[in-house]
Amino acid sequence: MKRKNIIAIVAAAVLIVVAVALISRYLTKHTPLLIQGTVECTTYKASSKVPGRIDCMKVSQGDRVEKGQLLYTLSTPELDAKLQQAEAVRSAASALDKAAIAGARVQQVEAARNMWQKAQAGLELARKTYERVKNLYDQGVVPAQKLDEASANYEAMKATAQAAQAQYTMARDGARKEDKEAAAAKVLQAQGAVNEVESYINDAMIYSPVTGEVSTIIAEQGELVGSGYPVVAILDTSDMWVTFNVKETLLPTLDAGTRMIGYVPALDYNVEFEVTYIAVQADFATWAATRTQGGFDIRTFAVKAKPVGSVMTLRPGMSVLVDWDQFKR
């Protein structure tokens, strides 16, 4: 009986020792500190400066596009009508400018000269009539009223002759320098209006601003879109980085230019990254201290790192795991 008790006691002691050893090993086992980040890239959103209805969509989601490639076109009948109006105004201004430079036609000049000569003849007749009436008035043959009528007619014919001469001179010499400059300015103004409308029409054809991949098509063919409304989103896969949200207590191990090894589960291999940016201000995420543990609240900072070299199969949205123990100094 005593022997059985001794065996039981020894077995219990062995179990206790083994349990203590296992617990001690578990408690002292090092757990790696893994920080998870997400692959991101620059996104461009193609839009137009003018509103209109999408006439033709040239790309589809997932297409690879080159910089300058046509993405979609807009139907803008209002702009087409404005262009016709602007071109008509330009044609009218150009005709007036040519007329100002060329001056009056030969027939117009001849007609103006004939009118002046006719006015000159009328003036000569009025002068002679006035002189005869004045002589008769001086002799007391005609009353003063007749003299006043002859004088008024004479003065009126003077004005008529001067006006006819001015018309003839203007027709012969052409438009004044100021009139020619004004006509030329009208042509430039009309041409500017045409260029403006043509610029808006050209903006109805939207091209890719960068080489990349179409990620989203927000509006489809036939839909009406406003000015500046993003229609096609393009990912620039040549400019990718990984964003990590790092506790402030881990920042002393990082600097701009620090290199790290990150594991990409989607690719099942490691990729080397280089830190390019550390946020100057803490993010909203906070690690709150508990009452039982004490301590202080810990803020997080955004850290961006770019791949060292080209990783063709890396895509936005993939996860990257970094073992932070590699930064221990």
Tell me the residue ranges of DSSP E strands in 176-231.
Answer: 205-207, 212-217, 224-225
Neighbour count for residue 236 (Cβ, 10 Å) = 17
* Nearest CA among 115, 216, 202, 125 for reference residue 160: 115
**What are the tens digits of pLDDT across the range 77-91?**
776 767 677 777 777
Tokens at 211, concatenated = 């080489």
pLDDT given at position 193: 75
pTM of the model: 0.57
pLDDT given at position 4: 62
Average pLDDT per block of 10 residues along the chain, 329 residues long = 63 69 58 82 89 88 91 79 72 66 58 76 79 79 74 76 72 59 71 76 85 90 87 91 88 86 90 90 63 66 89 89 76
| Terminal Cα-to-Cα distance of the chain (whole angstroms) | 61
pLDDT given at position 256: 87
* Structural domains of the chain ordered from first start: 29-45+237-327 (2.40.30.170), 80-200 (no CATH)
| C-alpha dist (Å) from residue 198 to 50, 104, 191, 205 | 12, 34, 10, 12
Write the DSSP symbol of residue 325.
G
Helix/strand/coil for 203: coil
| C-alpha dist (Å) from residue 144 to 126, 134, 156 | 17, 9, 18
pLDDT given at position 104: 47
